[in-house]
Amino acid sequence: METVLYELHFRWGDLPILLIPLLVGIGFWAVSCSLNRASGAGKDLIAPVGRDLSRSKGIKWFLRGIALLSGVVFLLSGAAYVADYTALKTRYEAGDYLTVCGFVEDLTVAEYPDKGGDSFTVDGVPFAYTDTDLTLHGYRKEAQNGGIITREGQYLVIRYIPDPDTGSNHILYIAEQESP
């Protein structure tokens, strides 16, 4: 009897992290727009400088440049994230993956957040992952955060795709069996 523990799906939890450059860009744009509407309030703070920076077109366009650059970073990183996920999902649905069956061995569980991640081997194939690695699509939930690989000796069926660039394996499917 096989119990499916994980199957590849889009990780909506990564969305807030991907939105950070967009939010930074919006913030810089808002500040640049507020410089146009700067009132006399706060002129005492500007007095030591000798001029009112809120009237400087250079400062306004510098802030807008940072805002636009942040927007471009958001678009590129978001597009790359979705493209990588889509490519992985297409390969998975086409059956272009490797399968390994066996007992979990050499399990290392991260003791503290931000101190590496979990790793293990099944039938000599190494797997390593961490919750914070956005480049690793597929399964990556650490045991300390409710992950499903928690002990040595679990008999698992894992479908995965090796990543030649990083040397890591993208786990696409995990099923647990009671007996081999």
State pLDDT tens for residues 18-72: 899 999 999 998 888 887 665 454 455 445 555 555 567 788 889 999 999 999 9
pLDDT digits (tens, 9 = 90+) for 112-129: 656 678 899 999 999 999
Is-contact 42 70, C-beta < 8 A?
A: no
Residue 66 φ/ψ, nearest 5 degrees: -65, -40
Interatomic CA distance for residues 140 and 132, integer angstroms: 8
Cβ count near 38 (within 10 Å): 14
Quote the strand ranges of 88-165, DSSP E: 98-108, 118-122, 125-129, 155-162
Tokens of 103: 């007992």
pTM comes to: 0.77
